[in-house]
């Protein structure tokens, strides 16, 4: 009988607790509903809640900048593939970026270049002249002032032009304030491997090439503010269908994975990240901004203005 009373008492206590929670929630809901605070979705800018941008700004230590000095002109070096200089109807991303106030710009952009080198070239130390415009190979040439690979490429008419080579050898990294790196989805389209678990600086892998390039600049020119620009979302042709790259696996993964790997490298090395992938172009609007995998003029203006606004920030 005594055990039964205890059981009844516990059940009653539990019921009272639940009733108390319900009453409390009811009162809070009533007070909020009568507070005059409303969310009117018609007042929310279209697309405002569709995505969360991955834009991240890291600043260089002020003491490093002060010791290096600054001439009040932001000299921006842009390195990438043809995404920077492609000119639908006469306008390129580089043209828009060049309008950043109080800046001057140098562009190293060549058709067919990408981030990762060919498989195994890192272990054999045998980089082809056709890779002489890839990310780490250009950074290595600039930082160590060793242009032998690019000289061979020029002699063999591979990848880089005479103008590209002349621009390359004229660059003084001590005078560069900002390094902006941007490639489109070329590594995804060509199936570059993502990472080497045994050597994180292996430049024949996407992650390794980014990590090696960034850390080389940071070690030798710590005053340079580095910004990585992401690819943009677009479509690709699969058979007779035009499909978004977010759902098409290239044999390694889809483009979203490359973007997230790129973002993680930026966070690891503490460099700024300009996100052109999430929210600017969506699966619903990709045909409006792109001609399949290449930006049209409208897309150039959309992405270019976002990059320009990013580079105008205090970073």
The pLDDT value given to residue 8: 52
pTM: 0.83
pLDDT at 57: 95
Q: So what's the pLDDT on residue 42?
A: 35
Where are the chain's structural domains?
A: 53-311
Q: Which two tokens stand for residue 155?
A: 């002699």
What is the rounded CA–CA span in Å between residue 97 and residue 159? 24
* Whole-number pLDDT of residue 16: 65
- Mean pLDDT on 30-49: 38
Give me the pLDDT at residue 10, please. 62
Domain 53-311: assigned CATH number: 3.40.50.1110
Mean pLDDT over the full length of the chain: 87
Encode burial over 256-276: b for 16+ CB neighbours within 10 A, e otherwise.
bbbbebbbebbeebebbbbbb
Which residue from 95, 197, 183 is spatially nearest to 136, judged by alpha carbons? 183
8-state DSSP, 45: P
pLDDT of residue 125: 73
How high is the pLDDT of residue 36? 38
Tell me what pLDDT residue 177 has: 97
179: Cβ contacts below 8 Å, ≥ 6 apart: 76, 77, 79, 217, 224, 225, 226, 227
Nearest residue to 315 via CA among 100, 79, 42, 51: 100
Decide if pLDDT at 121 tops 80. no
Percent of residues, the chain, with pLDDT higher than 70: 83
- pLDDT for the residue numbered 3: 47
Question: Residue 314 — pLDDT band, cuts 50, 70, 90?
Answer: confident
Q: pLDDT > 90: what percent of the chain? A: 76
The more confidently predicted of residues 16 and 313 is 313
Please tell me whether residue 153 adopts helix, strand or coil conformation.
helix
Q: Cβ(180)–Cβ(78) under 8 Å? A: yes
Higher pLDDT, 159 or 314: 159
The torsion angle over the Cα atoms of residues 150, 153, 159 and 163, rounded to 10 degrees, is: 60
Q: What is the pLDDT of residues 59-114, one digit of tens each?
A: 999 999 999 988 889 999 999 999 999 999 999 999 999 999 999 999 999 999 99
Does residue 258 carry a pLDDT above 70? yes
């Amino acid at each position: 009988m005594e055990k039964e009373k205890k059981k009844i008492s516990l059940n009653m206590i539990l019921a009272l607790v639940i009733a108390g929670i319900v009453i409390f929630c009811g009162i809070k809901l009533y007070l909020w509903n009568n507070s005059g605070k409303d969310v009117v979705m018609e007042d929310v800018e279209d697309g405002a809640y569709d995505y969360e941008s991955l834009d991240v700004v890291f600043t260089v230590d002020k003491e490093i900048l002060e010791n290096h000095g600054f001439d009040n002109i932001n000299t921006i070096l842009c390195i990438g593939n043809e995404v920077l200089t492609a000119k639908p109807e006469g306008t390129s991303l580089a043209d828009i970026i060049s309008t950043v106030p109080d800046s001057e710009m140098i562009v190293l952009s060549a058709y067919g270049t990408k981030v990762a080198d060919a498989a195994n070239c890192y272990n054999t130390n045998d980089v082809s002249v056709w890779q002489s415009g890839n990310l780490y190979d250009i950074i290595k040439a600039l930082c160590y002032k060793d242009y032998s690979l690019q000289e061979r490429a020029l002699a063999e008419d591979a990848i880089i032009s005479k103008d590209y080579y002349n621009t390359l050898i004229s660059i003084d990294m001590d005078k560069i304030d900002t390094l902006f790196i941007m490639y489109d989805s070329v590594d995804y389209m060509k199936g570059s491997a993502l990472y080497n678990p045994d050597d994180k600086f292996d430049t024949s892998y996407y992650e390794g090439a980014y990590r090696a390039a960034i850390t080389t600049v940071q070690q030798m020119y710590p005053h340079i503010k580095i910004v990585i620009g992401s690819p943009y979302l677009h479509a690709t042709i699969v058979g007779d269908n035009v499909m978004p790259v977010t759902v098409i696996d290239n044999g390694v993964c889809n483009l979203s994975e490359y973007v997230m790997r790129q973002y993680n490298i930026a966070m690891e090395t503490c460099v700024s990240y300009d996100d052109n992938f999430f929210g600017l172009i969506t699966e619903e609007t990709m045909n409006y901004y792109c001609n399949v995998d290449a930006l049209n003029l409208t897309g150039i203006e959309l992405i270019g203005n976002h990059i320009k606004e990013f580079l105008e920030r205090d970073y």
